[in-house]
């Protein structure tokens, strides 16, 4: 469990979802019970899995149209994917300097001048991890540029984007721009499902975590401890923190809609088990043995082999339970990855000797 190879599995190509379900709530939902029992549902039945008094936490981040196309000086096409501002902590369209991925990277060294969508920019430097630092010319309106010429960065495994799929790559409650990938477990929610959840006496609260490109990157072979986790910025409002802390004090469940919510809540509670409001960045890598102090139940999609997200789910639900669930999902024709189906599980209680802080 402590090596990346333990999280490999064979996934048939036909199990990769390249288009979403016709209706969001028609996606399949696999229920993973405390003893490992499995039940098949659709997401329309998700409200029935929640208890009155539960607190459901959503990530209301919005995916930005961060991909820009350009023509290379020597001919041929290029691609720029803006990741996050390099000259400030929080996401802001006003930033002039950005961390970005540039393709073809080897043919575009530092100092290269380019134009995308009529906007000029310069590749200023190459970061240690291969990302580029690019600076847009003064006077470029980034928000207008992305709205006019940008494309939503659909994951590479779903193939080229189109307008219909791009529209489905936002949650119905997406509000605060800043992500380059969607919080995919929440793609299944509809206004009707949210209304049904509220009608059951569930308290719905929100936070933001800006999902980065690292969510798509598989781990390199070797021990988990050697993996360098990418950082992601989150913001938790005082009302959200209060609702979560009150639920914990009263013995009510905190339900996370997605691994991004888990990282934000557990990252904000690392010091003393209390969720502290405010904005910060977390590079928390949740691995088996981590002591969960906030989240009691998790809604999540089915993740890539050897991904940090699969490790997180295994830490939360139990390594063997997760492997069994994934094998069953493959056998039962569940669809995997961003446009795929979902799983709902309560936290597995670790053995005392396995408990440790992340």
Q: What is the pLDDT of residues 5-43, one digit of tens each?
A: 999 999 999 999 999 999 999 999 999 998 889 999 999
Domain spanning 67-151: which superfamily? Answer: QueA-like (2.40.10.240)
Residues 51 and 255: beta-carbon distance below 8 Å: no
Question: In the numeric block, which tokens belong to residue 214?
Answer: 């690292």
94-153, pLDDT tens digit by residue? 999 999 999 998 889 999 999 999 999 999 999 878 899 999 999 999 999 999 999 999
- Predicted model pTM: 0.94
Distances (CA, A) of 269 to 208, 274, 276, 291, 323: 16, 5, 6, 11, 28
| Cα 342 from Cα 185, distance rounded (Å) | 7
Chain mean pLDDT for the chain? 93
Domain coordinates in residue numbering, the chain: 4-63+165-354, 67-151
Distances (CA, A) of 16 to 153, 165, 186, 312: 17, 15, 18, 20
Residues 243 and 205: beta-carbon distance below 8 Å: yes
Question: Quick one: pLDDT at residue 350?
Answer: 59
- Domains 4-63+165-354 and 67-151 belong to one CATH topology: no
214-270, pLDDT tens digit by residue? 776 788 889 999 988 888 999 999 999 999 999 999 999 999 999 999 999 999 999
Classify domain 4-63+165-354 at the CATH topology level. QueA-like (3.40.1780)
Q: Is the pLDDT of residue 356 over 50?
A: no
């Amino acid at each position: 469990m402590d090596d990346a190879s333990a999280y490999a599995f064979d996934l048939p190509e036909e199990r990769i979802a390249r288009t979403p379900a016709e209706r969001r709530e028609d996606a399949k939902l696999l229920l993973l019970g405390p003893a490992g029992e499995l039940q098949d549902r659709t997401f329309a039945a998700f409200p029935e899995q929640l208890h009155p008094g539960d607190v459901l936490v959503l990530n209301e981040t919005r995916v930005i149209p961060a991909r820009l196309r350009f023509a290379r000086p020597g001919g041929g096409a290029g691609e720029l994917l803006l990741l996050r501002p390099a000259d400030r902590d929080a996401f802001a369209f006003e930033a002039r300097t950005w961390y970005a991925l540039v393709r073809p990277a080897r043919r575009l060294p530092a100092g290269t001048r380019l134009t995308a969508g009529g906007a000029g920019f310069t590749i200023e430097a190459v970061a240690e991890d291969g990302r580029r630092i690019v600076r847009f010319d003064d006077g470029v309106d980034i928000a207008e540029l992305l709205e006019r010429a940008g494309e939503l960065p659909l994951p590479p495994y779903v193939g080229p984007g189109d307008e219909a799929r791009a529209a489905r790559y936002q949650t119905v409650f997406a509000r605060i721009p800043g992500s380059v990938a969607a919080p995919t477990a929440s793609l299944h929610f509809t206004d009707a499902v949210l209304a049904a959840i509220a009608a059951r006496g569930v308290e719905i609260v929100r936070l933001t975590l800006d999902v980065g490109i690292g969510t798509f990157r598989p781990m390199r072979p070797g021990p988990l401890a050697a993996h360098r986790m990418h950082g992601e910025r989150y913001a938790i409002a005082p009302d959200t923190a209060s609702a979560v802390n009150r639920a914990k004090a009263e013995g009510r469940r905190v339900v996370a809609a997605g691994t991004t919510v888990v990282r934000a809540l557990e990252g904000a509670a690392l010091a003393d088990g209390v969720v502290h409001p405010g904005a910060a960045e977390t590079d928390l890598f949740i691995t088996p043995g981590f002591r969960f102090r906030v989240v009691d139940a998790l809604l999540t999609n089915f993740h890539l082999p050897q991904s940090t997200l699969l490790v997180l789910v295994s830490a939360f639900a139990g390594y063997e339970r997760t492997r069994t669930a994934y094998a069953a999902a493959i056998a039962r024709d569940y669809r995997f990855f961003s446009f795929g189906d979902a799983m709902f599980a309560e936290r597995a209680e670790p053995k005392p000797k396995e408990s440790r802080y992340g």
